[in-house]
Amino acid sequence: MPPPVQVAFKRIGEPVVGQNGYLGFLKGKTEVHKAGSRPGNAKLWTPDILVEHDVEIVVRDGARLYVDIYRPADSDEKIPAILSWSFYGKKYSALDMLPICVWNCCVTKDMLSGLEKFEGLDPARWCPRGYAIISVDSRGADGQISVMGTQDAEDGYDVVEAIAKMDCIGMAGNSALAISQWNIASLQPPSLKAIAPWEGMDDIYREQFCRGGWFSMSNFDLIAKAIVRGNPNSGLEDLDEMYRRKPVDSKFWEDKRIDMKKIKCPVYIRGSEVSALHTMGSIRGWLEIEHDQKWIHWGSTQEWYELYGQPESNHELQKYFDRFLKGKQNDWEKTPRLNWSLLQFGDRKAIENVLIEDFPVPNTDYKEFYLGQDKKLVDAPPSTLQKFSYDSEKHLGFSEFIYTFDKPTSLLGLPKAIVYISCADTSRDDFTVFIILRKLDKDGKTLYHLNFPIEATPVNSIDEIPEKEMASLNLFSGATGILRASQREIDESKSIHPQFPFHPHKRQQKISPNEIVKLEIGIWAMGVHYDAGESISVRIGGQQPSIAEFTSFSGPRPEHELNRGDHIIHSGPDYPSKIILPFVDVKV
pLDDT digits (tens, 9 = 90+) for 242-268: 999 999 999 999 999 999 999 999 999
Give the residue among 178, 434, 182 at the shortest CA–CA distance from 306: 178
Which helix (H) or strand (E) is 172 found in, with range? strand 169-174
Burial 217-245 (b: 16+ CB within 10 A, else e): bbbbbbbbebbbbbeeebbbbbbbebbee
Residue pLDDT, tens place only, 176-188:
999 999 999 999 9
Cβ-Cβ contacts under 8 Å for 588 (sequence gap 6 or more): 342, 351, 354, 408, 410, 529
Q: Is the pLDDT of residue 45 over 90?
A: no
Cα 361 from chain centroid?
22
Q: What is the mean pLDDT of the chain?
A: 93
Give CA–CA dist 94/304, Å, rounded.
9
Q: Does CATH place domain 365-584 in 2.60.120.260?
A: yes
Average pLDDT over residues 351-371: 97
Give CA–CA dist 452/298, Å, rounded.
15
Lowest-confidence range among 39-43, 100-104, 169-173? 39-43
Residue pLDDT, tens place only, 183-214:
999 999 999 999 999 999 999 999 999 999 99
Q: Can you give the pTM of this predicted structure? A: 0.94
Give the residue among 103, 100, 102, 127 at the shortest CA–CA distance from 113: 127
Domain ranges of the chain: 9-261, 365-584
* Top-tier CATH class for 9-261: alpha beta
pLDDT at position 43 is 63
Which helix (H) or strand (E) is 566 found in, with range? strand 566-571
Q: Is the pLDDT of residue 74 over 70?
A: yes
Residue 73 contacts residue 47 (beta carbons within 8 Å): yes
Cα 514 from chain centroid?
36
Q: Residue by residue, what is the 3-state secondary structure of 361-373? A: CCCCEEEEEEECC
Q: Please, what is the angle between helix 176-185 and helix 279-288, to 10°? A: 20
Amino acid at 206: R
3-state secondary structure of 126: helix
Give the residue among 122, 41, 90, 179 at the shortest CA–CA distance from 311: 122
Beta strands in 394-465 (DSSP E): 399-404, 409-413, 416-423, 432-440, 449-450
Average pLDDT over residues 394-398: 92
